[in-house]
Amino acid sequence: MNIKEKSDAVHVYISDNGIGFNLEEQSQSKTSYGLKTMRERSEEIGGTFRIRSKEGQGTYIDVRIPK
């Protein structure tokens, strides 16, 4: 995890080199409340939430929250 404070926003990067997952299947899942909640909370305060994941290659999450 990496957190950087810039003049206009706080950037949070979370990544791993784990097994990854299929984003489309995950978005249809009723049990993935953690990622859904992270997205909702980020957007509620005017931020962005981006996630990239590929099976066998890990996951990368980028959250940007304006100051």
Residues 6-58: pLDDT tens digits?
999 999 999 999 999 888 777 666 656 788 899 999 999 999 999 999 899 99
DSSP, collapsed to helix, strand or coil, labels residue 40 as helix
- Summarize the chain as % helix, strand, coil (round to 5): 25, 40, 30
> What was the pLDDT predicted at 31?
56
All structural domains of the chain with their residue ranges: 2-66
Q: What is the pTM of this model?
A: 0.81
Is the CATH code 2.40.110.10 the one for domain 2-66? no
